[in-house]
Amino acid sequence: MTTICDLPEDVLVELLSLLPARELLRSCRLVCSQWRDVVDLTTLWKRKCQREGFYAQNLDRSVTDWKIFYMLSNLKRNLIKNPSAQDNFRHWKLDKNEGDKWKIEVLPGPHGTGMPDPKVEKYFVTSYGPCFKSQLITLQKEGYWNQLMDEKRPEIVVKDWYAARFDCGCRYELTVRLLSEDYIVLQEFHPKPVVIEQWSDATWREISYTFQNYPAGVRHIWFQHGGQDTQFWAGWYGIRVTNSSITIGPLTML
């Protein structure tokens, strides 16, 4: 009697590529030596990338490990929760909340402009005293296991959007730290504060940074942003922030 093990390798690759990666690695790979070898094939993981929209022809020369490429592509998403004030201040720690404190407003807001992304409807706005908020991301909880981070060092891409009101100057600051298990800073991105003068165009601007070739041992990412207005006006005339993101992906994905 013919069994599934008698199928040609290319047919078996096609069938197994339909299964979730977790099942392939935890179950199928243990069935027999033939299935183990097929699960380890580059062609199987490349096929899964094709099926799920992660594949492009220009990647053929640059991807050295299609299994890891698939895993990282499958995991890739925004690790910042509630980035655009959809859920009030949930998931954010208010590190400094001075002046008239943080507030949420609807775009475009007073003397403001709209965001390039129409899906973003709200923003966080600071006051005349320092206002900073942060999130701490634990990578293992998000599916990024220690060996993956230490051996593959996938790109960590940070993005944030900020804007001023037209009628008031303000200051914007961003700090992102890669932390060890014991919260020791392994690498940091902390650009010079951005000072926007009064009567600016109130345009939303994006800041972006990519961590590469960072030390082994990264287990957490700490993200903090904020600022204040520079004219000390009562109310909410300070920097506006929204649509923050941290993504982790393969080195070939820009």
- For 77-125, how does the pLDDT look when each residue is reduced to its tens digit (9 = 90+)? 999 999 999 999 999 999 999 999 999 999 999 999 999 999 999 999 9
pLDDT value of residue 111: 94
Please report the pLDDT score of residue 2 as a whole number. Answer: 61
Do 125 and 104 contact (CB within 8 A), yes or no?
Answer: yes
Is 4-75 CATH 1.20.1280.50?
A: yes
Q: Give bridge partners of residue 132 from the DSSP assignment.
A: 96, 226
pLDDT beneath 70, residues of the chain: 1-5, 252-254
Question: What does the domain layout of the chain look like in residue ranges?
Answer: 4-75, 93-249
Query: What pLDDT, on a 0 to 100 scale, did the predictor assign at position 217?
Result: 97
Can you tell me which residue has the tokens 């299994």? Answer: 67
Strands annotated E in the chain: 93-97, 103-106, 122-125, 131-138, 155-163, 170-179, 185-189, 194-196, 205-211, 220-229, 240-249
CATH 1.10.10.10 fits 93-249, yes or no: no
pLDDT score, position 28:
79
- Predicted local confidence at residue 254, as pLDDT: 40
Q: Name the pTM for this structure.
A: 0.89
Under 8 Å CB-to-CB from 183, ≥6 apart: which residues? 220
- At residue 252, the pLDDT reads 52
